[in-house]
Amino acid sequence: MTILQLEKRILWVSVAFVMVLFALAALAVNLFHVGLPTCLTDIKPFQKGEVITHSPTHYEIHYVAKMWKFEPENVTVPAGSTVDIYVSTPDVTHGLALLGTNVNLMVVPGVVNYSRVKLDTPRTYQLLCHEFCGTGHDRMATNLRVVDRAAFTSTVVAPGGQPADPGYRLLDAKECLSCHSVDGSEGIGPTLKGILGRTEKMTDGSTVTVEPAYLRESIVNPSAKIVQGYDDLMTKTELTDEEVEEMIEYIETLK
Ligand code: CUA
């Protein structure tokens, strides 16, 4: 078989063209960090919802959609933020729609789906499950609140105006503060102000001097000992050991 001179040239030009394309793609990926298009993220499915602060204007929210709620609930970010939303599920197929935005994701077991949204105006967005997932499907809703920057900063500042301690933010995030005050005021549970070293009478008649070990027990196993005058109302909250220590460290500062 003979190949004409012209055909040879065309072949060479084509091969060279493809090689130049590959070289440009490699250059774009390595030099300019342009991501190659993909429909999968490299994040493994997660069990625990969380909010990660990358910068004051960039947040990453890991939602866990489970029968029948989203975690974390009621997230607040400041206006002007870019929010990366990742979602996974430990049980069945759900959906995630952030009403009023373009965020609309399927939530499929074993997969992490992703969307990015820029939230500029202060308002409350509803986050809903849009895939029928069982009897509690209609309850799968929570809010993503966008507040203006000044209001946002004040939500993470502890009473007294000090910058928020991570322990305080944790107590706030886990809703401990809806029952326990940090300023001495009465609540559904005892105040945390000056709690360390206080002597409390328990419902079983015993007396306890509050030290870190007692706080740890009361956080991890709320029903173990109940202070007289209060009811056994506190529910168990899932916390890591580090989170418990962080809370106790903060409580120790509340003299
Ligand atoms: Cu989850 Cu519907």
Q: pLDDT tens digits, residue range 139-151?
A: 999 999 998 887 7
| Residue whose entry in the numeric block shows the structure tokens 């607040």 | 76
Backbone angles phi, psi at 107, to 5 degrees: -120, 105
Nearest ligand 1 atom, CA 133: 2
Residues in the chain: 255
How far apart, in Å, do the first and last CA atoms of the chain sit?
94
Q: Is 5 helix (H, G, I), strand (E, B) or coil?
A: helix
- pLDDT of 216-255, one tens digit each? 888 888 888 888 888 888 888 888 888 888 888 888 888 8
- pLDDT of 184-221, one tens digit each? 777 778 888 888 888 888 888 888 889 888 888 888 88
- Ligand 1 pocket residue status of 112, Cβ below 6 Å: no
How far apart CA 86 and CA 30 sit, in angstroms, is 25
Q: Is 83 helix (H, G, I), strand (E, B) or coil?
A: strand
* pLDDT over 80 at 166, yes or no: no
- pLDDT of 53-110, one tens digit each? 888 888 999 999 999 999 998 888 999 999 999 999 999 999 999 999 999 999 999 8
Q: What is the mean pLDDT of residues 146-162?
A: 65
Ligand 1 centroid–CA 92 distance in Å is: 8
CB 155 within 8 A of CB 145: no
- Ligand 1 pocket residue status of 131, Cβ below 6 Å: yes
Task: Decide: residue 122, CB within 10 A, 0-12 exposed, 13-18 middle, 19+ buried.
Answer: middle
Which residues touch 206 (CB under 8 Å, ≥6 apart)? 225
How far apart CA 208 and CA 49 sit, in angstroms, is 35
Give pLDDT, residue 36: 64
- Ligand 1 pocket residue status of 96, Cβ below 6 Å: no
- Ligand 1 pocket residue status of 226, Cβ below 6 Å: no
Tokens, residue 171: 């107590």
How far apart CA 50 and CA 72 sit, in angstroms, is 6
Rounded (10°) CA dihedral 219, 71, 152, 100: -160
- Ligand 1 pocket residue status of 132, Cβ below 6 Å: yes
DSSP class of residue 8?
H
Count CA atoms within 13 Å of residue 213 on its CB side. Answer: 2
Ligand 1 centroid–CA 238 distance in Å is: 23
